[in-house]
Chains A and B, each alone.
Chain A
Amino acid sequence: MSTTMETNENIESDSKAMVLLMGLRRCGKSSICKVVFHNMQPLDTLYLESTSSPSLEHFSTLIDLAVMELPGQLNYFEPSYDSERLFRSVGALVYVIDSQDEYMNAITNLAMIIDYAYKVNPEINIEVLIHKVDGLSEDFKVDAQRDIMQRTGEELLELGLDGVQVSFYLTSIFDHSIYEAFSRIVQKLIPEISYLENMLDNLIQHSKIEKAFLFDVNSKIYVSTDSNPVDIQTYEVCAEFVDVTLDLFDLYKETLTENEKGRNDNKPVARELKNVSELGNGVILYLRQMIRGLALVALIRPKGSDIESCLTIADYNIDIFKKGLEDIWSHSKIEPDKFNTIQN
């Protein structure tokens, strides 16, 4: 168990936002991890081996994120396993329930874990993924969700934990629902989220943007969006637009960067990725690379005014937005250090 002790120590010293992925065996934890963070094709996850030891992975988006996956067969309450320390360092506990399987055991297990985690760390966000819903019919999905929510509530009540907030998500790796769920989970861990949302609200009000997402380019989860409700279709289109942009850019990466260099007398200028696409009904999809692997994707509706001026305004406003983002980031970077020095 010495290895896990070590990782625990790392986690605490790094002060990263940590997501703990748990669930019974074969409920789909590794698949989620691979699909969301490693761009694996959903169908390929069939061949994944079962995970035997806790695995930790780091991702840096706007915040540094660590995702730790615990194998389902592990007994967390063994005295040799330092779960107290583990739960204390965790920002979000994500529990995966296989909706196509008998889920009573999972719910009991979940209640036990919540009981323990909540005592150790009352700040923890508890998120439940009702997973593999692609195999269920529309009616059955809702039924399953209601059933699981109710039973979990009852279990928690029995343990005297009726005040605990638990969020539920219906997910599947075969559509965008898993990204959507992870987006919301990660957003709760970003301390600056309210500023970001305000900035995006400001941006869309002044540039005829209908909806704007701040995407993490690698995982395609959105770190933030404006306060308008998220329509899953719009999200899908924007996520796919990120894909299109990256795919096309990759095809001609060599030539484009080469040309760029030639014109600038070999000064290596890192050019930000930008993609603007106009659709038949006048809608414009707009993508701009931001800082730290983020990209802003916006859906612009010119509503009669001319496209040219619309884009110019959007360009200008997004420039300002990017500066704002850089400012926020440079400040948030200092804070953890300060925090450390105070602690020391």
Chain B
Amino acid sequence: MSNLSNSNNRKKLLLMGRSGSGKSSMRSIIFSNYSAFDTRRLGATIDVEHSHLRFLGNMTLNLWDCGGQDVFMENYFTKQKDHIFQMVQVLIHVFDVESQEVMKDIEIFMRSLKQLKKYSPDAKIFVLLHKMDLVQLDKRQELFDIMMNKLTGTAIEYGFPNIVGFATSIWDESLYKAWSQIVCSLIPNMSIHQSNLIKFKNILDAYEIILFEKTTFLVICSSNNENNNNNNSSSKITKIDPKRFEKISNIMKNYKQSCTKLKSGFKTLILNDSIYVSEISSNMVCFIVLNDPKQPQQLILENIKKAKVFFQ
């Protein structure tokens, strides 16, 4: 029975894909503070590497980074299948877009889906078409569409109609977008955060507030979400960069890294008296853009302090 209560907070994420597709690289960047450049020193993953990551305090992500060499793969699907595929919440399947053996990649994907259907039929499936930076800019969308068509078709065959796909690369912010969405799909009380955030936005008279997880800087939610977007997309929202969330993740992650050179973490940042970045709970950081830069700094900081209670 203890298993049941545990399963609420412990999420098992399977990271699958052929050897060399970039699974460990992305894991190191998102969860271990590697820079994209650092990943070249990573070696091949042997068997399964488990990492337990605390995310948003009470949630633990059990990330199973499954080494992709054929020998290991064969093992996963035969001897270890019940061990690997049981109680999986999320399968993240990584495809190398430059791969020479696309058919073999898809075959592995099919076999994972088959096992997954058997052992954890409720799992969510994400596919990442990785190393997109190697594809010419104007061909990326086309390639993405073709691959996604094929993969969605396959997934439906195996009884997973709702797979989500992303084009990613470790060299730009696309990786953060994909992982933010993956992780968000696991957060149960998202709507509470969302409504709190909108209230907070109105109190501060802010233009926008974005909530980030503290260690990974993945986006949790923002005050200008879809529903808002539709209302006034014509006037305000269109002017700002639609990719800004991921970009902020990227920028702030770099900044955090440079702070470690001074042997410290970052606490607050105030830019031009109108952008405030500050911790709002032990595991979240809020990014606030104000409408009026003339509001006294103390007031804003005090408000952030007061709001902390609501974001525990």
Q: Which of B239, B255, B265, B268 has the most CB of A within 10 A?
A: B255
| B186 interface residue (CB < 8 Å to A) | no
* Chain A residue, CB-CB nearest to B259: A279
Q: Which chain B residues lie closer than 8 Å to A236 at the CB level? A: 258, 261
Is B215 in the interface zone, CB < 8 Å from A? no
Which residues of chain A come closer than 8 Å to B240, judged between CB atoms?
A: 251-252, 254-255
Identify which of B271, B273, B274, B292 gathers the most chain A CB atoms within 10 Å of its CB: B271
User: A245: nearest residue on chain B (CB-CB)?
Assistant: B271
Complex Cα–Cα for A163 and B4 (A): 82
Query: Which residues on the A side are within 8 Å of B41 (C-beta)?
Result: none
Q: In the bound complex, what is the Cα–Cα distance between A236 and B258 (angstroms)?
A: 8
B307 in the interface (beta carbon within 8 A) = no
**Chain B residues positioned under 8 Å from A281 (CB to CB):** 262-264
Are A278 and B262 within 8 A (Cβ)?
no
Q: Which residues of A contact B252 (CB under 8 A)?
A: 244
B207 A259 Cβ-Cβ under 8 A: yes
With A279-B267, A281-B264 already in contact, the answer to whether A237 and B272 are too (CB < 8 A) is: no
CB neighbours (8 Å) of B267 from chain A are 277-280
Q: Which residues of B contact A274 (CB under 8 A)?
A: 271-273
CB neighbours (8 Å) of A276 from chain B are: 269-270
Residues in A neighbouring B44, C-beta threshold 8 A: none
Segment at the interface with A among B87-95, B160-168, B243-251: B243-251
**Would A275 and B293 count as touching, CB distance under 8 A?**
no
- Chain B 268-312 interface residues, beta-carbon cutoff 8 Å to A: 268-275, 289-294
Contact B291 A259 (CB under 8 A): yes
Q: Flag whether B241 is at the interface (Cβ < 8 A).
A: yes
- B248 to chain A: which residues have CB within 8 Å? 248, 251
| Chain A residue contacts of B259, Cβ below 8 A | 237, 279-280
Chain A residues with CB under 8 A of B254: 240, 243-244
With an 8 A cutoff between CB atoms, is A256 at the interface?
A: yes
- Please tell me if B266 contacts chain A, counting CB pairs below 8 Å: yes
Known: A273-B272, A275-B269, A276-B270. A283 touches B262 (CB 8 A): yes
Inter-chain CA distance A249–B244, complex, in Å, is 11
Query: Is A263 an interface residue, CB under 8 A from the partner?
Result: yes
Query: Are A255 and B261 also in contact (CB < 8 A) when A277-B269, A278-B267, A279-B266 are?
Result: no
For residue A241, CB closer than 8 A to chain B, the reply is yes
Given A248-B251, A260-B293; A237-B258 close (CB under 8 Å): yes
Q: Once the chains bind, are B270 and A248 in contact (CB under 8 Å)?
A: no
Is A280 touching B264 in the complex (CB atoms < 8 A)?
yes
**Contact residues, B51-91 vs A (CB, 8 A):** none
**Residue A267 at the chain B interface, CB threshold 8 Å:** no
CA distance A251 to B294 in the complex (A): 20
A260 and B275 alpha carbons, distance in the complex (Å): 13
CB distance from B273 to the nearest CB of A (A): 7
Identify the closest chain A residue to B265 (Cβ): A280
Q: Are the C-beta atoms of B275 and A248 separated by less than 8 Å? A: yes
A271 close to chain B: CB less than 8 A:
yes
A163 CA to B95 CA, complexed, in Å: 63
* B247 adjacent to A247 (CB under 8 Å): yes
A343 at the interface (CB under 8 A from B): no
- Contact between A279 and B275 (Cβ–Cβ < 8 Å)? no
CB–CB B275/A252 < 8 A: yes
In contact, B270 and A275 (Cβ under 8 angstroms) = yes
List the interface of chain A (C-beta within 8 A of B): 233-234, 236-237, 240-241, 243-245, 247-249, 251-252, 254-256, 258-260, 263, 271, 273-281, 283, 299
20 A-B pairs, CB-CB below 8 angstroms? A234-B262, A237-B259, A240-B255, A243-B254, A244-B252, A244-B269, A247-B247, A249-B271, A251-B247, A251-B248, A252-B274, A255-B289, A259-B290, A276-B270, A277-B270, A278-B266, A279-B262, A281-B262, A283-B262, A283-B264
For the complex of A and B, the 10 pairs showing the least CB-CB separation, nearest first, are A240-B258, A281-B264, A277-B269, A280-B265, A279-B264, A244-B255, A280-B264, A275-B271, A278-B267, A247-B251
- Report B's interface with A, CB cutoff 8 A: 207, 236, 239-241, 244, 247-248, 251-252, 254-255, 258-259, 261-275, 289-294
Given contact pairs A236-B258, A243-B254, A278-B266, enumerate 12 new A-B contacts (beta carbons under 8 Å). Answer: A237-B262, A244-B269, A248-B248, A249-B271, A252-B244, A256-B272, A259-B292, A260-B293, A274-B272, A275-B271, A280-B267, A281-B263
